[in-house]
Structure formats: C-alpha cells, structure tokens
Amino acid sequence: MKLIIIYGGIIISKLKNKVLREVGALARCIQSISDIKFREIKLQRGQFIFLTRICEYPGINLIDLSNILKVDKTTTTKAVQKLMDEGYVLRERSDEDKRMWHLFPSAKAQNVYSYLIEEENRNIECCFTGFSPEDRETVLKLLKRMRENIEQDWKEF
C-alpha cells in the first residue's frame, strides 16, 4: 500500500521512515566538524576519509579505494590528486598493469594519521554518549546490516 499526502492539490508520497535522514544528518555533522578541524592541516571536503583508507591500505588502487568508500572513480581521482598536491599521497605505477597506480601514504600522511583517528574516536564517543556497551554493539550490528542490504542495490548501479 502506497502512503500519500495531498497538499495543495499535489499528491506527495509519504516517507515511511526517517532513518536515512538521521544517518545523513549524522554524516553531515561529522563531515562539517572534521572539515573545520582538519582545515589547519590542509585537508578539506572529506579528504580525510580518503587519506585514512590509504594509510590503512597502503598500495591500494583507485578502483578499490572507490569501492571501499562507495564513491565514483571521478570523485576518488579528484580527492587523491588534491592529497598528492598537498604531499599526503604518493603513487607508483603497477608492475602488473601499467595503466594502474598504487597509492601510498607519505611520511606527512603517516604523521597526521593518529590525529585523524583520534578525531574519529572523539566523534564516536560523542555519538555514543549515554549508550550502554550493549547498545553500542547493537547499533553497529544494525548499521552494518543496513549497509550490506543497500550495497546489494548499489552494486546494480
């Protein structure tokens, strides 16, 4: 059954649940806080997400990085280029496939990685204020399940 609202003569479908709006608001708040905090180290507009994954997966290629972060290759390419311009990322051509590049964190990236993770941990603690350890585990399990469900749909695109 489709839920609809008629507003001013216009038929509008009614949202079934606001969970994605809450998840989106949470992500945007964290993104905004991080962009402000990381401005001093010349990371902007979510570049920290790319940088942390490159630090965690040295030698990763653009396609795998895009898949991990669930973004298109163009977005990944632009972010990585800016990180290279700032001296955070180094790239090496693949020995197996000369069209592919492997990405590595520079010494500069390795120096800021702990700071990035400390900030991520601070955000986690802020989000979980007032949650029991069991609630924290439940939230993680449910979000992971939601991500796995939507990934099936995402892979079709």
Q: Where are the beta strands (DSSP E) in 17-76?
A: 60-61
On average, the pLDDT of the chain sits at: 92
Euclidean distance between CA atoms 78 and 72, whole angstroms: 10
In a domain, 141, yes or no: no
In a domain, 47, yes or no: yes
> What pLDDT was estimated at residue 131?
98
Assess whether pLDDT exceeds 90 at residue 16.
Answer: no
The pLDDT of 9-30, averaged and rounded, is: 88
In a domain, 144, yes or no: no
Q: Contact, 101 vs 61, CB < 8 A?
A: yes
Assess whether pLDDT exceeds 70 at residue 6.
Answer: no
CATH number, position 71:
1.10.10.10
Domain that holds residue 92: 39-123
Q: Count structural domains, the chain.
A: 1
The pLDDT of 40-46, averaged and rounded, is: 91
In a domain, 68, yes or no: yes
In a domain, 152, yes or no: no
Residue range 64-117, pLDDT digits in tens = 999 999 999 999 999 999 999 999 999 999 888 888 899 999 999 999 999 999
Euclidean distance between CA atoms 45 and 113, whole angstroms: 17
Euclidean distance between CA atoms 73 and 64, whole angstroms: 9
In a domain, 90, yes or no: yes
In a domain, 10, yes or no: no
Assess whether pLDDT exceeds 70 at residue 59.
Answer: yes
In a domain, 61, yes or no: yes
